[in-house]
Amino acid sequence: MSERRTLVIPWMIRHGRTDLKLLVCIPVLFLAVLAFGGTSSILEMTPPISGLTLANLRDSFEETHNGHRHEAMDIIEPRGTPVRAAVRGTIRKLFLSKPGGITIYEFDEKVEYCYYYAHLDRYADGLHEGMSVTPGKVIGFVGSTGNAAENAPHLHFAIFELGPEKQWSKGKAVNPYPSLVEAVKRSK
């Protein structure tokens, strides 16, 4: 949407179309960009673990794990490593599941994407549903709860595009790998 904003003005000048209608259109378009556009939280995310390098990242989105398409990334870290909020948003659900173990579902500010952190050893003290978090805030600690192997603690990290119902348990998985690579590069 940002290209539209920059293209409209030169187009008008070339065509001599500086009439009132178009002059009204520009601020309207600008406000529309501000209201509905802006950047997706995925493009602004920060790594959920401090000090990650590209060597720590492996794309396993399409792999089959336990009979299902993985649709997530596994970041191998020692037990107890702090897990941080990847984006500004709200802790929407703290859930204990058989496969995921101790998990967190975080909604971004625009309620467009849900960030999922699983196999945690425990939550950060005081973490609760409805809590606002900023990127980098410690929300939990790496562990092996759920179906992770006891001797292989890791963060299972996933991103879901929320549907119109905005339910934490429903969404379309988005591969976090490319945007996490960019996040790690930005963090250097």
Residues that bind Zn ion (CB under 5 A): 72, 74, 156
Q: Smaller CB distance to Zn ion: residue 6 or 66?
A: 66
Q: Smaller CB distance to Zn ion: residue 137 or 156?
A: 156
Indicate the pairing of strand 73-76 with strand 101-108.
Answer: unpaired
Q: Under 8 Å CB-to-CB from 73, ≥6 apart: which residues?
A: 57, 58, 59, 60, 61, 156, 157, 158, 176, 177, 180
Least spacing, CB of residue 147 vs Zn ion, in Å: 9
Class of residue 48 by CB neighbours under 10 A (exposed 0-12, middle 13-18, buried 19+)? buried
Tell me which residue has its CB nearest to Zn ion: 156
Least spacing, CB of residue 71 vs Zn ion, in Å: 9
Rounded Cα distance between 68 and 185, Å, is: 30
Least spacing, CB of residue 141 vs Zn ion, in Å: 17
Least spacing, CB of residue 182 vs Zn ion, in Å: 21
What letter represents residue 69's amino acid?
R
Q: Smaller CB distance to Zn ion: residue 72 or 142?
A: 72
Rounded Cα distance between 6 and 152, Å, is: 50
Q: Smaller CB distance to Zn ion: residue 135 or 146?
A: 146
Least spacing, CB of residue 68 vs Zn ion, in Å: 10
Please choose, from the candidates 135, 129, 140, the residue with its C-alpha nearest in 3D space to the C-alpha of residue 109: 135
Q: Smaller CB distance to Zn ion: residue 92 or 156?
A: 156
